[in-house]
Amino acid sequence: DSGVTQTPKHLITATGQRVTLRCSPRSGDLSVYWYQQSLDQGLQFLIQYYNGEERAKGNILERFSAQQFPDLHSELNLSSLELGDSALYFCASSGTPDYEQYFGPGTRLTVT
């Protein structure tokens, strides 16, 4: 158990809908990262937040957005969902100066 929690574990929704994925980092970690894993694209970095501020953006679509709240939990919002958005979405957290990223169990999103 990495100490990173994600909810929900599974999510099934229809095209065009909007969903919110939630992540709680390890206690004391200020950085939260979101990744997408799919068969087509592999593991892709989406976005990073550090202590409430956006720090780095990766291959995140404009239909996707994220935020980190004062209690350090983070949410990833996915809108206008398409079939191709079906994937495993992982959240990871890390604490300075420890560079290691600890991954949560993931949310499996299925868009039908």
Partner 1 sequence: ELKVEQNPLFLSMQEGKNYTIYCNYSTTSDRLYWYRQDPGKSLESLFVLLSNGAVKQEGRLMASLDTKARLSTLHITAAVHDLSATYFCAVDWLSGGGADGLTFGKGTHLIIQP
Is 66 exposed, middle or buried (CB count within 10 Å of its CB: 0-12, 13-18, 19+)?
Answer: buried
One-letter amino acid of 10: H
Report the residue from 2, 17, 80, 112 that binds partner 1 according to the rule CB under 8 A.
2
Q: How far is the CB of 84 from partner 1 (least distance, A)?
A: 18
Best CA proximity match to 23, nearest among 31, 14, 32, 15 = 32
Determine if 38 is a binding residue for partner 1 (CB under 8 A). Answer: no
Determine if 25 is a binding residue for partner 1 (CB under 8 A). Answer: no
Considering only the stretches 14-22, 29-37, 62-70, 72-80, report the one whose residues sit in contact with partner 1 under the rule CB under 8 A.
29-37
Report the residue from 13, 61, 79, 105 that binds partner 1 according to the rule CB under 8 A.
105
Q: How far is the CB of 16 from partner 1 (least distance, A)?
A: 27
With H, G, I as helix, E, B as strand and everything else as coil, classify residue 23.
strand
- Contact between residue 78 and residue 8 where contact means Cβ atoms under 8 Å apart: no
Determine if 99 is a binding residue for partner 1 (CB under 8 A). Answer: yes
Report the residue from 48, 68, 74, 86 that binds partner 1 according to the rule CB under 8 A.
48
With H, G, I as helix, E, B as strand and everything else as coil, classify residue 81.
coil
Token readout for 99 is 């560079």
Binding residues for partner 1 (CB under 8 A): 2, 31, 33, 35, 42-48, 50, 55-56, 58, 90, 92, 94, 96-106
